[in-house]
Amino acid sequence: MVLIVFRLVALGFFIYATIATADAFSNVDTQAPITSTLSFIQTAIVTCYFGLGAIVAVLNRDLIKQVTAYRNNVRYAPLSLSQKLYWVLFEAIWVGACVVCVVYWSLLYTPGTHVGFADLTMHAFTIIALMLDFCLSRQSFALQHAPLVLIAVGGALLYVVIYHAKTGYFLYNFLDFEAHGPLWYVLTVVIAAAFFGLGWVFSLVKSWALGGRGYAQQIDAAPHNHGGPYNTLDDGYTMSV
């Protein structure tokens, strides 16, 4: 119930924050509208995540109670494709939020300038909310998902290149490959990989703290088609407990 309430509150907050951010910058004269930036797109995806997460948590609340009561005897079924995609979505937006926050505060923010609600939403509140979701749920990081997450990061960088090709404008100066070459593109992927590794470590720590109940143990390699014992994310059936 706590997770459901949290996700519903987070959903409401980010819906409001996304609309407020778009409205606040609607009359600002910039070369690129705020809705075109990776920070805004990331925030919009986080909003969708909490919406989907609330639905999944509500639909599986009865199963969650059963698994909690009979944890040691649970036998699981393979996760569906949609559940696996939802799992990877969490990993991707968590890594993306970390990268966005680090890049903004270290490269783009000018010390001493005013920090508004929109800046905090896109560059702080997203990762705080996702960390709370990580702690309240059994979401985790699986190493076999790392290539998919890095492909998503590469897709975001490709978006920047395509945007420049269509408008002649780089969304971020440090990604101006005409001035800096591919250096920052490579570094961004490396930073993303490092954050994925950090998330994996967090998963191990959470697994240890929960007595081995929270970490997804190589689900794609597990013998889930043979009715093996529970050892997967969200008790084998649900992605959001």
- Residue-wise pLDDT for 60-98, tens only, equals 665 444 444 444 444 445 566 777 888 899 999 999 999
The reported pLDDT for the residue numbered 28 is 65
Structural domain includes residue 91: yes
**65 in Cβ contact with 211 (< 8 Å):** no
Measured CA to CA in angstroms, residue 67 lies from 71, 73, 81, 83, 211 at distances of: 5, 9, 21, 18, 15
Which comes out higher in pLDDT, residue 195 or 228? 195
The reported pLDDT for the residue numbered 222 is 36
The reported pLDDT for the residue numbered 179 is 84
- Domain total for the chain? 1
Structural domain includes residue 241: no
Structural domain includes residue 67: yes
Q: Which helix (DSSP H) or strand (DSSP E) does residue 103 occupy?
A: helix 81-103
Query: Which of 49-53, 152-156, 186-190 is predicted with the least confidence, judged by mean pLDDT?
Result: 49-53
Per DSSP, the three-state class of 206 is helix
According to DSSP, the residues that pair with 75 across neighbouring strands are 229
Percent of residues, the chain, with pLDDT higher than 90 = 47
Percent of residues, the chain, with pLDDT higher than 70 = 77
Per DSSP, the three-state class of 229 is strand
Per DSSP, the three-state class of 25 is coil
The reported pLDDT for the residue numbered 112 is 87
**52 in Cβ contact with 90 (< 8 Å):** no
Structural domain includes residue 219: yes
Given a cut of 70, is residue 226 above it in pLDDT? no
Domain range for residue 113?
A: 2-236
Q: What is the pLDDT of residues 150-162, one digit of tens each?
A: 999 999 999 999 9
Structural domain includes residue 218: yes
Q: CA-to-CA distance for 138 and 212, rounded, in angstroms? A: 11
pTM score, whole prediction: 0.80
Average pLDDT, the chain: 80
Structural domain includes residue 81: yes
